[in-house]
Amino acid sequence: MNDTAFRVTLVFTAYQSIGSAKTGLAVFILLVYTTTFLANIVLMFIICLESSLHKPMYIYLFNLVCIGLTGSTSVWPQVIMNLVNDHQTSSYNGCLLQVFLIYVYGTGTFVVLTVMAYDRYVSICKPLQYHLIMTQCRVKQLLAVSNLVPIILVAVQVFMTSRIPVCKYTLHRLCCDNLSVYSLSCAKSSASSLNNLYGIFVVGFVVVLPLCLILFSYAKIITVSFHVSKDAQKKAFSTCTPHLIVFINFSLASLFAVIYNRISSFLSSEVNIFVTLQIMLVPPLLHPVIYGIRTKEIRKGNIKSEITLA
């Protein structure tokens, strides 16, 4: 373990370009983060309280919401404090912890969305076998996989990053990310090359592979929809729409972030701020909004919950 690196302090330089707008940006992020936190808590509360929502689809949605809260909470409280303070710094081990949580959020979201797509595929393409396939044991197994696989893979990635010696201590970011921490290394080494190769493997396994599986699931769903009645098509469309919107939104945000990380040295700090807001602030807010608006069962559950509380 690189003990020297754990005693150093890293400085975020992206805040310097914000200038006098720091207070306004801090208030905006605080309002959106608070709204996100409350909206997700309400959605989780509805799923727990309403027995009709104790189904695999909503159990996976509960897991998705938890991962989204983990990601946003790992970033925005610190960003808000950095905006209102004069010094924007982080310890090296604190930065690594933030990298771990952010990447668990990113990879975990893709894996959970894949599990949700599989659930929709079984529900629509094999309706008579749904309860035989999506048993309580199978649901628990899928939940375990969707949580443990990202945690283990990202933990290995962060451990490998921590082994790379550093000689630079400034990050041109609002928060930490693995590529930025990796760029702090003094020189290329076997450890840094292995870290880079492992990062490619992780992206392929928990991002590219899930994307392919989700697209395959929807291809099957569309094919089956051509051979059913209009009412069945409408029902299939209504159950898949929220998941599809969330999937497209998160995929585009992630793609934008990946592209930006590769060309960030040519772009301004303002673009970095926009990218961070896009990937870490918007998706966790949209999840409860989209599912709350588009899902009839959740709307009914919300009404029942209000009546019960009254």
| 239 occurs within a structural domain | yes
- The type of residue at 109 is T
The string of pLDDT tens digits covering residues 111-158 is 999 999 999 999 888 888 999 999 999 999 999 999 999 999 999 999
Report the relative pairing of strands 170-171 and 9-12 from DSSP bridges.
parallel
Q: What is the DSSP string of 185-217?
A: BSS--HHHHHHHHHHHHHHIIIIIHHHHHHHHH
The string of pLDDT tens digits covering residues 100-113 is 999 999 999 999 99
pLDDT at position 253 is: 79
User: What CATH number did the domain enclosing 187 receive?
Assistant: 1.20.1070.10
Q: Hey, which bits of the chain come out as E strands?
A: 9-12, 89-91, 170-171
Contact 79, 29 (CB under 8 A): yes
| 141 occurs within a structural domain | yes
Name the residue range of residue 51's domain: 5-305
Backbone angles phi, psi at 110, to 5 degrees: -65, -40
| 52 occurs within a structural domain | yes
pLDDT at position 47 is: 87
Give CA–CA dist 4/6, Å, rounded.
Answer: 5
| 30 occurs within a structural domain | yes
Give the count of alpha carbons within 13 A of 93, CB side only: 6
The string of pLDDT tens digits covering residues 185-238 is 776 666 677 877 888 888 888 888 888 999 898 888 888 887 777 777 777 777
- Give mean pLDDT, residues 66-70: 91
Using pLDDT thresholds of 50, 70 and 90, give the confidence band for residue 292. Answer: low
Domain count, the chain: 1
| 226 occurs within a structural domain | yes
pLDDT at position 309 is: 39
| 310 occurs within a structural domain | no
